[in-house]
Structure 1
Amino acid sequence: MRRRADKGAATTILVVTMALVLVAATLLLSKIARANGLRTRAQTAADASALAAAAEIRDRGATDIARGLIPDGEIYLSSSAGAARDYAAKNGAVVDEVRASGYFGLTVKVTLHTRACQPKPGTDQAPMHFTCEHGERGLHGTATAIARVAFPACGPRGFHDGKKHGKGFIPPTIGIFCNGLQTRGFDAARRMFAVRLVDEEDPTAFDPDYTTRDRETGRQLADMYGWTGANWVCLDKLWTGESGWNHLAVNPTSGAYGIPQALPAVKMAKYGGDYLTNPVTQIRWGFDYISSVYGNPCAAYAFWLSHWPHWY
């Protein structure tokens, strides 16, 4: 027969054991909760940073529109990465990588980690310790987010189609139109762009060097600005005839330069100081010129065909 003292001792041991299990479970749940909290912090920071990087691209495009220029489809990864780092810092995180995808890099992926961390098991810190000291190994919250900016279809468009005058041509009065609407001012221009989080990167790799892809760059920009179908066919034939889609082409007689054969070449400086070497700068200027003088590439190509030697 078991004595009462034995029963009492067993009960005490059971109670103590249950208390220890409860404490351990509480600490474990606390650690899990803190780890989940770090992940949540990291994801919030990543979302904000990716959107900031995409918004940086949007704001450059809106600035162009407000200045009366066709917006630039190129990404400047350094400025977008800077915006991502700024927003990560505001959310207590550090950016590990900013990567662009898409032909013009309009999709941006941000990977980061939280500054706060949970010390790894085995450290001398108390179980509830939540900030790793200098040199201490710990588990940071990590996260990735992807954001994309969609450009509106923009370009100069005349209020009339232009008029012939003797042997010359009176250019139409123009303005910058996006999605068929004339935009006035930076704030209105910003609203024409869409910036949103997405689940996947663009399947097209981003390569910031366009100098070996002149014609494809032209096709991509034409698609962005709405010159598809017949307009792209006409543009392709026009600039194939003018320069062979060579951003270094020089007319030996007139000195006309680049893909659109600007005369003089310095006209293209309206779109950037790199007009002698950057096909994107040349193409944007060429779009501006064709739109403002002829309205569309097919009208420009028809004019080009009607003159010998060809010119437009």
Structure 2
Amino acid sequence: MTNLSTDLPTRDFILVGFSDYVQQPIVFFPVFSAIYMLSILGNLLLISVTIVSPQLQSPMYFFLSNLSLVDMCLTTVVVPRLLLNLLLNQKNISFPECIAQVYFFIAFAGVECFILSSMAYDRYIAVCKPLYYITIMNRKLCLQLALASWIINFVNSVLHTLLISRLSFCGPRIVQHFFCDLLPLFKLSCSDTSVNQLVIFTEGFMIVALPFLVTLISYIHIIWTILKIPSTIGRKTAFSTCSAHLTVVTLFYGTMICVYFRPSSAYSPVHDKLAAVLYTVFTPMLNPFIYSLRNKDVKISFKKLIQSNIYM
């Protein structure tokens, strides 16, 4: 097969999207458009509420506003290009655009992992060490955790994009996905991708698995502490402060781990697309609703914000 790496910047990739098993993929356009609009509006509203409401000026809501911001960014990296594909049947994507999509997707996905682990740690201190909560979760620590989440992952994403840039691609560049992701690009490469996959399983462990372990260990301690509370009402109240975050963690990590941390022989384009739809499209839309519906303070703040805008 002819090596086409020399003209790589001028050769486009083709994003198959959903056309390989749906005859009329444009039927998905109104569905994904509505979900994307709900995601952007819901997260913007949640950020606005956490900023303007005095009762939401706490570490938990600071991290929640960061989560909403990264959710908007993550879904914006993927969905607008998908909508363009569905509406205009414009499946070509240039190499620089593809690499940019890979870079920002990895960066924002990593930030989400770190923010979720920071929120889990915050809930651990609140439930297990309530007397020290104000001292430990001070403003300085919260800012440091948030900044570290963004900086580390944007620097880390450079490594993956540099490694993908050095690959050669031979033959048809048909990406069996609806956006440029690492695993589908590996399948197209005629170069040795063992280094790339090794980086995913080693360096990726630091970025994804360690935050997941922090989250898991935090919730083991939280659940153990809640079970020791003698009052049923007390246990219910303590668990209600963590249930929304636990739901979001399960949705996000469950799909991410199934896609990226498995043998390459188990690769399935159809299953990967469905999983990717969950963590890039549905989860960013669901997060504002999960936190607002399961949190009394957020619901009260929503009502006050709406009422103040009505009477203005």
Give the number of the structure with larger relative contact order, counting CA–CA contacts within 8 Å between residues 6 or more apart. 2
Name whichever structure is richer in strand by fraction.
1
> Which structure is higher in helix share?
2
TM score, norm. by length of structure 1: 0.25
The structure that has the greater radius of gyration is: 1
